[in-house]
Amino acid sequence: MQTRLDHLVIGAADLPQGIAFVREKLGVDIPFGGTHEKMATHNHLLSLGDDVFLEVIAIDPQTPSPERPRWFGLDDPYVRRQIQEKPALLTWVVNTHDIQKLLQASAFPFGKAELLRRGDLSWYFGLPEDGRLLAGGMLPYVIQWRTTSHPARRMAGRGCRLEALAIHHPHATWLQSVLESIGAADLVNVHPLPANQTPYLLATIETRAARVELQTATKAL
């Protein structure tokens, strides 16, 4: 089973807020992507090199609300409060050439593979029924692109590149075992935390001007 890092997800209360956040952190403007009608969300996208990209996503007020909870915890009251204050790194996504095989082999319920579309792109995506962040965002969502080449290859880069991805977790052994079950253990560095500390995801990105760290929230706002 071949599993690869696909993208990082930043949640925002709206897209202008998310664009401003990326400009402040990375010093670049992140281009518009499109709308996901099934999830009633829209996004901006930035290549981070090596078929990996950064996504800024927000609820699309112009699209009717879906009958199910949106992905990435965007309907979760805690997540909404968090990103209303300021955008935040929410989670990460991995890709595979056989999502059904990956989901069957996994030691954790990553959701049901569903077909989604945005413009001329389509993909299968593992969606939990309640739209929750998996293990609070520490475990990745899973995608299978229906394309001959990775979509990141046609995204603007702006001189940004992902250098490292790490997870700090009080149950590091458990997390590592789940990642091993989907072939993703070598995609991220897992570090143990004391039992009473909040886990967090940390992405290190090289820009033209500096090395920048993006981190998930470690406490409620």
pTM of the shown model = 0.96
Burial of 82 (0-12, 13-18, 19+ CB in 10 A): buried
Residue 88 has pLDDT above 50, yes or no: yes
Domains of the chain by start residue, with CATH: 3-154 (3.10.180.10), 161-215 (no CATH)
The pLDDT of residue 129: 95
Cα separation, 125 vs 42, whole angstroms: 16
The pLDDT of residue 96: 98
CB 188 within 8 A of CB 165: yes
The rounded percent of the chain whose pLDDT value lies above 70 is 98
Going by pLDDT thresholds of 50, 70 and 90, the confidence category of residue 220 is very low
- What 8-state DSSP symbol labels residue 75? T
pLDDT tens digits, 139-174? 999 999 999 999 999 999 999 999 999 999 999 999
- Which range is least confidently modeled, 10-14, 76-80, 217-221? 217-221
CB 31 within 8 A of CB 116: no
Residue 109 has pLDDT above 70, yes or no: yes
Mean pLDDT of 186-212: 96
**Which helix (H) or strand (E) is 178 found in, with range?**
helix 172-181
CB 13 within 8 A of CB 83: yes
Q: How many residues does the chain have?
A: 221
The pLDDT of residue 65: 94
Going by pLDDT thresholds of 50, 70 and 90, the confidence category of residue 1 is low
Residue 221 has pLDDT above 50, yes or no: no
The rounded percent of the chain whose pLDDT value lies above 90 is 95
Q: Which residues pair with 94 in a beta bridge?
A: 5, 142
Under the phi-then-psi rule, with left for phi > 0, alpha for psi from -120 to 50, and beta for the rest, what region is 114? Answer: beta
